C-alpha cells in the first residue's frame, strides 16, 4: 500500500493504523501548498482535490477521505482488530468516525487552524467545539477507548486532539478527555506516528524558509 500524506494532517490517523497493524507501506509526502510530492510529481493526478490522505491499495485502487480509508484498513487488516466485527459495533464505529470528521475535524478545527477564517467563524467554531468536547468528556468518563477496545476511531480522534496545541482549546478543562489523550499518546503506534510526523513537519517548515 501507498499512503499519500502531509505531516501532522488528518493522514496521521492512517499512519497510526498501519503501525498498529504492523503493515508495510510506502509513505509519500505531499506538500500541502504546492500539491507536489517530494520527487516533484503532481499530486493532483492522484487526487484532483489535492487533499490528504489518499491510499493506493495493493491492487492499484485509490481511496480518499479519512473515514473511508480507516474503515478499509480495518477490513483489510482483520488481525489488528481495529474495528468491531458485529453489526451493531460497526454502526457505532461509523457513528464515531462521522462525529469526529464532521463535528470536530471540519466544524471545529478547520476554522480554528485556518488563518484566513473570519473572527466570527473562529468564535463560533470554538463555542461549538467546546460543546462537542464536553460530549466526549461525558462519554469517555470511566472508559479507556471510544468503543470496547482501540479502534480506527481512536486513531482519528487522537489525531484531531493533537491539533489543540495550535488553537485556544485547553484539554485540561475536560479531565477524562485529557487523560484519554495522554494514554493514547503513550500507545506505541501513536507515539511512533506522532514522533515521525513532527520530525517531517519541522523539516517541511525548514525547507519553506526563504533563502538568506
**Same domain flag for 53 and 106:** no
**Same domain flag for 145 and 203:** no
**Same domain flag for 179 and 197:** no
**Same domain flag for 110 and 145:** yes
SS3 198: helix
For the domain that residue 40 is a member of, what is the CATH number?
3.40.30.10
* Residues in the chain where the model's pLDDT stays below 70: 211
**Same domain flag for 104 and 177:** yes
Domains of the chain: total = 2
Of all residues in the chain, what percent carry a pLDDT higher than 70?
Answer: 99
29 DSSP β-pair partners? 5
For the domain that residue 154 is a member of, what is the CATH number?
1.20.1050.10
Give CA separation, 119 vs 108, 122, 124, 135, 176, in Å.
13, 5, 9, 25, 30
Residue 211's pLDDT is 67
Q: For 115-166, what is each residue's pLDDT tens digit?
A: 999 999 999 999 999 999 999 999 999 999 999 999 999 999 999 999 999 9
**Same domain flag for 135 and 178:** yes
Give the residue numbers spanning the domain of 10.
2-80+190-208
pTM: 0.96
Decide if 140 contacts 177 (C-beta within 8 A): yes
Amino acid at each position: 500500500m501507498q499512503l499519500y500524506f502531509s505531516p501532522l494532517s488528518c493522514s496521521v490517523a492512517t499512519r497510526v493504523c498501519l503501525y498498529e497493524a504492523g503493515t508495510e507501506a510506502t509513505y509519500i509526502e505531499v506538500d500541502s501548498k504546492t500539491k507536489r510530492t517530494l520527487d516533484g510529481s503532481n499530486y493532483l493526478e492522484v487526487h484532483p482535490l489535492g487533499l490528504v490522505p489518499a491510499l493506493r491499495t495493493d491492487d492499484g485502487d485509490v481511496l480518499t477521505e479519512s473515514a473511508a480509508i480507516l474503515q478499509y484498513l480495518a477490513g483489510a487488516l482483520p488481525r489488528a482488530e481495529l474495528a468491531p466485527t458485529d453489526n451493531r459495533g460497526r454502526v457505532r464505529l461509523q457513528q464515531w468516525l462521522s462525529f469526529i470528521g464532521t463535528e470536530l475535524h471540519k466544524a471545529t478545527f478547520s476554522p480554528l487552524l485556518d488563518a484566513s477564517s473570519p473572527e466570527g467563524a473562529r468564535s463560533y467554531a470554538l463555542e461549538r467545539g467546546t460543546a462537542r468536547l464536553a460530549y466526549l468528556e461525558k462519554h469517555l468518563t470511566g472508559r479507556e477507548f471510544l468503543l470496547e477496545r482501540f479502534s480506527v476511531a481512536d486513531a482519528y480522534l487522537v489525531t484531531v486532539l493533537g491539533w489543540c496545541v495550535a488553537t485556544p482549546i485547553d484539554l485540561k478543562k475536560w479531565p477524562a478527555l485529557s487523560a484519554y489523550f495522554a494514554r493514547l499518546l503513550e500507545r506505541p503506534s501513536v507515539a511512533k506516528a506522532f514522533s515521525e510526523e513532527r520530525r517531517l513537519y519541522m523539516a517541511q517548515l525548514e525547507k519553506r524558509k526563504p533563502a538568506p
